Structure 1
């Protein structure tokens, strides 16, 4: 591993991660490339979450379905309660899936791991996706859940918003819109391979071809549907938002994935604006690899680093700026 300012590069990839990379290149990417983007095709992708919902619930966790601001969610808690700076905190998690598929079940393992490591409740949000609504609809649901949590959380000043891929987009939008509306902002934002720019076609096409399973052609095909319908409050792409609106940020990307360029751009912007940011880029991984949770060593490491970052950030909110973590000790 090697640190460059706010960015840490990780060069060690486990065997399980490399196997996942090969499977995605050989099987998943070709399927995604040719899957129809019609309403019927998008509806069929939702069976992934239905299948995942049949898997056993992670051990030693309580999963409680409920409505938050009218949005279906589930609250995942671990018997161990957080102490110190983490006491009273909560994590609002937005799953990824390109605003098309995935849901509470596909991300239950990751949310459970976050709950177990942190000792704080993790609330996973089932926001509307295509073809039910465009990105604007997803943002509306995300804000409805967040504003409702402000009224019900144990400590509204200790709400952390998090998400992977499309969910990372929503986490960033919640932070931005909270600032625009003048309401309590999240204490921190966590983005695992976050979608920060909807104009991905502007990046180097040769680099974009190297993503292990996200086909650029399909992303461009979906863009018009992402942006159709409801207006998106604030900036269309979070990377263009005012850096002052971004709370302390923890960002993760794989070395070769579509979303890494904008993770680096966002990191540079936050550093220039003197905003706290910690970024990790990992070789030999697939897009949003922390979602694999305990299946890969790197997923467990990233969750540990995430919890450490949240704890330091919450402690710093009382005593001053957060200090960089020595990742070699994790």
Structure 2
């Protein structure tokens, strides 16, 4: 099966400003930030700071739990028709299993809810220093199992996420099949982490990432794999059996840490006859759809992702 990989050359003024600002401020800051428990907890204050900002308009946001895991449910007055009727999205935020949370990803979840007309549940899974990746997966699966019970149509659950959250979305799809659960209807991955072995990537390419310093990402590897909970199935989604995955939508920026694996995963899924659609965008930063409220390219990509889900449900 031929895969669909689309390049996007348009770069807005907002995107150019964001890329420049990230290189000048975020990347130097992340390069020097201590990855001790104290340093990680301090950077976790980002979500609390953003939580004080005004909430997205024209949506309703409720605090709920799924399987004992805190979540935010975002709904829009418009209800989906057609294939999306009865569907829901389970969204896993990114942040390298270290920072970000419900507040940092409200804009993206609100955009998806408004575009699709279906509820979006954003999952606040545990991160370092409260557990390794295995702990994050345990929370992701707990939320998914409960989603199967509360969903209007359990066969229409879409799992989505960016960066580390994209990893969790792919793992939920894999593990649900291994456990004999109803699998997700689709996976939407925005700059997803698909390979825990980032050392295999070309360093010259990796240095072009707008704000993720390779040194700090590599320093997290040991902490990712520590903790009380093991990683079920394949450690890296790119090493999983491609036949377990439902239709998959992927995106990546031209220069970022995740692009080599996004393209490799695209080929692997296509070669296995799976449905996959991938978008590569010039001039963007890692996980740019998260900033859909400020970036026209982010809004466009989320629209493409929702339309992909609608075609494949």
Smaller-chain TM-score bracket? over 0.9
1:85-126 per-residue CA deviation (whole Å, 9 max, x = no partner) reads 110000000000000000000000100000000000000000
Residue 90 of structure 2: aligned partner: 92
Which of 206, 214, 238 aligns to 1:208? It is 206
Indicate whether 1:69 and 2:67 are aligned. Answer: yes
Q: Distance in 1 between matches of 2:126 and 2:294?
A: 28
Which of 110, 113, 131 aligns to 2:111? It is 113
Secondary structure of the residue aligned to 1:295 is coil
Residue 138 of structure 2: aligned partner: 140
Structure 2 residue runs of 5 or longer lacking an equivalent are none
Secondary structure of the residue aligned to 1:294 is coil
Residue 241 of structure 1: aligned partner: 240
Over the aligned positions, Cα root-mean-square deviation in angstroms equals: 0.8
Q: TM-score under structure 1 normalisation?
A: 0.93
Residue 289 of structure 2: aligned partner: 290
Alignment of 1:148-297 (within 5 A): 148-229=146-227, 230-297=229-296
Q: Distance in 2 between matches of 1:86 and 1:231?
A: 34
Displacement after TM superposition at 1:294 (Å) = 2.4
Alignment of 1:12-51 (within 5 A): 12-51=10-49
Q: Distance in 1 between matches of 2:154 and 2:140?
A: 16
Secondary structure of the residue aligned to 2:160 is strand
Q: Distance in 1 between matches of 2:284 and 2:169?
A: 22
Q: Distance in 1 between matches of 2:160 and 2:57?
A: 22
Residue 299 of structure 2: aligned partner: 300
Runs of 4+ deviating beyond 4 Å: none
Q: Distance in 2 between matches of 1:65 and 1:162?
A: 19
Q: Number of residues paired by the alignment?
A: 311
1:161-191 per-residue CA deviation (whole Å, 9 max, x = no partner) reads 0000000000000000001111100000000
Displacement after TM superposition at 1:57 (Å) = 1.1
Displacement after TM superposition at 1:5 (Å) = 4.6
